Amino acid sequence: MVILKTILNILPQKEPFVFVDEIVDYQRRDFLITMKRFTTNDSMLRNQINKYIPKTLIIEGATQSIIILKRLNDDCINFHGFMLIGKLKAEFFKEVSIGDSIYYHVGKLRLYNDLGSAVVNVILEKENIGEVSVFFKIMNSEL
């Protein structure tokens, strides 16, 4: 299990914009499972009016999980390039509430030079509650 401090070194995003708390499982070139606990301590949720997590935060966690898998696979944890999303499709079947822990399962990462695609399943209490499909381009320099 890899904790938040290591994740902060891998991701280009910094707090409070990090939506992955830990790496639960990882198999090189095969899959990655990450986890996010949504609590009232999350700065993005402090002024939340209702108990449901905005889908955009869940999608951001899914894309961050893709970045983590890509960087772990390439042994380029300190790489400072960035990923541009070309197309994203997300579908959710159940709401996520404050207090829930969700798991992101990245199992279909395909890379073609600087282009890629990935599918992330969103899991809550061992139930698949959503899927995020992403097509992206990797840029090798800072903006």
61 pLDDT exceeds 70? yes
Q: What is the pLDDT of residue 143?
A: 43
What b/e string do you get for 93-102 counting C-beta neighbours within 10 Å, with b at 16 or more? eeebeeebeb
What b/e string do you get for 26-46 counting C-beta neighbours within 10 Å, with b at 16 or more? beeeeebbbbbebeeebeebe
- Vertex 13, ends 105 and 64: CA angle to 5°? 15
Half-sphere exposure of 56 (CA within 13 A, CB side): 3
Q: What is the pLDDT of residue 82?
A: 67
- Residue range 3-42, pLDDT digits in tens: 677 888 888 888 888 999 999 999 988 899 999 999 888 8
Using the 8-state DSSP alphabet, how is residue 42 labeled? S
3-state secondary structure of 29: coil
CA–CA dist 16, 44 (Å, integer): 7
Residues whose CB is less than 8 angstroms from the CB of residue 81 and which lie 6 or more positions away in sequence, other chains included: 138, 139, 140, 141, 142
Q: What is the pLDDT of residue 1?
A: 57
Enclosing H/E stretch for 94: none
